[in-house]
Structure 1
Amino acid sequence: MHIEVSQSLLLQALRRIAAAVPSKTVIPILSGIQVEADANGITLTASQISMILQATIPTNGQTTIVHQRGSIVIPARYLIDIVRHLPDGMIRLTVDNDFKVCIQSGQAIYHLCGMDHEEYPQLAHFDYDHAIRLPNEHLKRMMKQVAFAVSTSEVRPVLTGISCKLSDNHIRLTATDGIRLASRETNIEHSAAKIPPVIIPGKHLSDYCKILDGEAGTTDIHINKQTLLLRTNNLIMQTARLEGSYPSLDAVAPKSYLTELAFDANNLLRALERVSLLADDHHIIRLHMTSNQSIELSSRAAAIGHVVEEVPYEAYSGERVTIYFNSTYLKDILRHIDCSSVTLRFSGASSPIVVQPTDHASALYILAPSRSHA
């Protein structure tokens, strides 16, 4: 193999797929990135078995030139570090028959030991049963608004995923860790009524959306019984679906409410940040209605002190309420709702708190209350 490629283009492609390189692995080949050159350009692939990321740099005769086709797996850590530190300009990469790699730029010449690409995981070629298309801005916005609620615990593996439910011309993403839930909906370009719900690994989808930062255009999502494939311009991610029963939004959300309070979202968030400074190790805050104009937020830390702050609300209906909750979780919701005002709905001291952005009727956030007292 013999290629020449712009340092900036190669570094950009490497950064896009780096999330798929496992930090630790007992399979040596997975510590590398596959570099493949053919008539179409240079394709970089990183894999961690359950997820593959692939970025292509198309041939253009100036900044990407393929002199000789070939494929090699190069240790990812060294390849990324070398390319990052090389100066702007063209990089020449050659590979001999013994998997020896030579990387040259200016006066710098690196020699690395490569690995046989035949042992590297490849994209599986499936017949995908369904496909949908989303504008990148919609996909990134939805992910930002739900990904924070994905569970990081493997106790219930299904909760490390994001539920993707399609109906008519809408797609709904839902994430939950069992304590909080975030759900957002947006339109899609064509009917998806016959596509069954799927569960996508949350970290994989989140990593993909981070890669799309600044990327215009659309993303095609292809679905079959085992896998999903996302394609955006010259970027591809293939990931295994998660199996299991995901919590039903209809089953979790209360059917009626005793109290509704509307707030300026930023004012409520700032007040929570101040009051949580003296919250205990469980981050518990007490919300108590003291009058018809405001609520009282309070917290205390044993042997340290306590804090009380009154927060005005914009509208109120129903009964007065006193409830305890984890301030960290509610702050996360308020930071991600992307809305200037919010309505909190209560069905009782032991029932879930529903957080509704006032200008996004299809959005829904749910937080389990705490039984601990501040």
Structure 2
Amino acid sequence: MKFNIVRDQLLNALNDVMKAVSSKTTIPILTGIKIDVSTEGIRLTGSDADITIQTFIPTEKDGQQLIQIDETGSIVLQARMFNEIIRKLPTNEVEIEVTENYQTRIRSGKSDFHLIGLEPNEYPMLPEVSEENQISIPGDLLKSIIRETVFAVSTSESRPVLTGVNWKVTEEGLICVATDSHRLARRIVTLDNLPKDVESVVIPGKSLTELSKILSDSSTPVNIYMTNQQVLFKTEDVLFFSRLLEGNYPDTNRLIPETYQTTVQINGKELLQAIDRASLLAREERNNVVRFSTLDQNQIEISSNSPEIGKVEEEIQVQELTGDELRISFSAKYMMDALKSIDGQDVIIQFTGAMRPFIIRSIHDDSILQLILPVRTY
């Protein structure tokens, strides 16, 4: 196997596949990256058994030659070492040659590295995913869906199914829900041609976070295929496989209140900044709690009190305030995460009393809903 490649192209592809390589794997060959060279181009594959990422670099793109292939073949090279070498090579021209016993030579400028490769046939096959039930989502929209939900997954392994985001195909569209049982994030997306055979899957939060780093901000569609155990996200030159989480995701619809006693309409950015300031004093406390109280004349107060440090109070003018007066306490972090996902827009917050979950929505967009459970402070 022998080829010359533009270093920048190889580095970009390596950056993507390295997201799937873990040094903690129990399968030694998975600490490597598989390189397959064909006459069409080069495929790089990285995997940690849960996530598998494969990228493709064509021999030429937009009339520019990226790779010159002298001899096809396959090799597995130690991922971290190979990535570091390519990153630090002195020129943009790289020549890679594999001789007998998988001896691999990497040359660039005056640098000449020799690496010992591994048997490529021992590298696991790609997961099998049928391409029948396809969902197509523009890349930038998929990125937004992940940003608006994934932060609310559970970090505790005591209920593994809650460490993922539930994707559910219904008549309303695609409903994406994440909850850690203290808060909930939901995004509804209306899409054409949703598959009838896929009802509900749970995609690990970790997988979606890594996928988001690979997705571009363009509206180029990402094709998504789901089976019982795997999901495949397919872009123009990347295949991203993830295993799905097993278990029944709880029915979260019943958590969302039907009626509200107090409604506040407020600038989301202003509220986020006030909670951020109040949390400076709350941060020392174990659960970082701030208090939200309604006042007269369309005003609310955000306050926090820490016996050892001091207290803070801040009044904010709101756009609209209706219903019963209210004092409620909640986690500053949860509220800030929710407001960040709505991206600084004006929000409506609807409360059902001091000890009941409350919801936050954007005024302009009904498809995003955040729900938070209050904290008992007395």
TM-score (norm 2): 0.95
1:147 pairs with 2:150: yes
Determine the structure 2 residue equivalent to 1:36.
36
Instruction: Output aligned runs, 1:192-203, within 5 Å.
Output: 192-203=195-206
Q: Which moved more, 1:161-170 or 1:132-141?
A: 161-170
Determine the structure 2 residue equivalent to 1:50.
50
1:82 pairs with 2:85: yes
1:102 pairs with 2:105: yes
Shift of 1:106: 1.0
1:121 pairs with 2:124: yes
Determine the structure 1 residue equivalent to 2:338.
333
Shift of 1:196: 0.9
C-alpha contact (below 8 Å) 2:127/2:230 kept by paired residues: no
1:110–1:169 distance in 2 versus 1, CA, 3 Å: farther
Determine the structure 2 residue equivalent to 1:247.
250
Determine the structure 2 residue equivalent to 1:5.
5
Q: Deviations over 1:70-112 (max 9, x none)?
A: 1111011111111111134221111112011110111111001
Separation of aligned partners in 2, 1:124 and 1:263: 47
Shift of 1:191: 3.4
Separation of aligned partners in 1, 2:3 and 2:78: 18
Separation of aligned partners in 2, 1:300 and 1:161: 34
Shift of 1:37: 0.4
Shift of 1:264: 0.6
1:303 pairs with 2:308: yes
Q: Which moved more, 1:19-28 or 1:39-48?
A: 19-28
What 5-or-longer segments of structure 1 have no aligned partner? Answer: none
Q: Deviations over 1:263-294 (max 9, x none)?
A: 11111111111111111231111111122321
1:165 pairs with 2:168: yes
Instruction: Output aligned runs, 1:170-319, within 5 Å.
Output: 170-214=173-217, 217-279=220-282, 280-319=285-324
What RMSD in Å do the two structures reach over aligned CA positions? 1.6
Q: Which moved more, 1:228-237 or 1:192-201?
A: 192-201
What 5-or-longer segments of structure 2 have no aligned partner? Answer: none
Separation of aligned partners in 1, 2:184 and 2:91: 46
Shift of 1:16: 0.9
Shift of 1:194: 4.0
Q: Which moved more, 1:201-210 or 1:257-266?
A: 201-210
Shift of 1:214: 4.1
Shift of 1:158: 0.6
- Equivalent pairs, count: 373
Shift of 1:167: 2.6
User: Counterpart of 2:266 in 1: which secondary structure?
Assistant: strand
1:7–1:192 distance in 2 versus 1, CA, 3 Å: same
TM-score (norm 1): 0.96
Shift of 1:216: 5.0
Match of 1:368 among 370, 373, 376: 373
Shift of 1:148: 1.2
Letter in 2 for 1:183: R
Match of 1:62 among 62, 65, 84: 65
C-alpha contact (below 8 Å) 1:170/1:192 kept by paired residues: no
C-alpha contact (below 8 Å) 2:129/2:232 kept by paired residues: no
C-alpha contact (below 8 Å) 1:168/1:193 kept by paired residues: no
Separation of aligned partners in 1, 2:218 and 2:95: 27
User: Counterpart of 1:139 in 2: which secondary structure?
Assistant: helix
Separation of aligned partners in 1, 2:197 and 2:28: 42
Letter in 1 for 2:139: N
Separation of aligned partners in 1, 2:213 and 2:83: 18
Letter in 2 for 1:29: I
Shift of 1:243: 1.4
Separation of aligned partners in 2, 1:204 and 1:372: 36
Shift of 1:324: 0.8
Separation of aligned partners in 2, 1:17 and 1:169: 35
Separation of aligned partners in 2, 1:324 and 1:216: 40
Q: Deviations over 1:10-29 (max 9, x none)?
A: 00000011110013223221
Shift of 1:177: 1.4
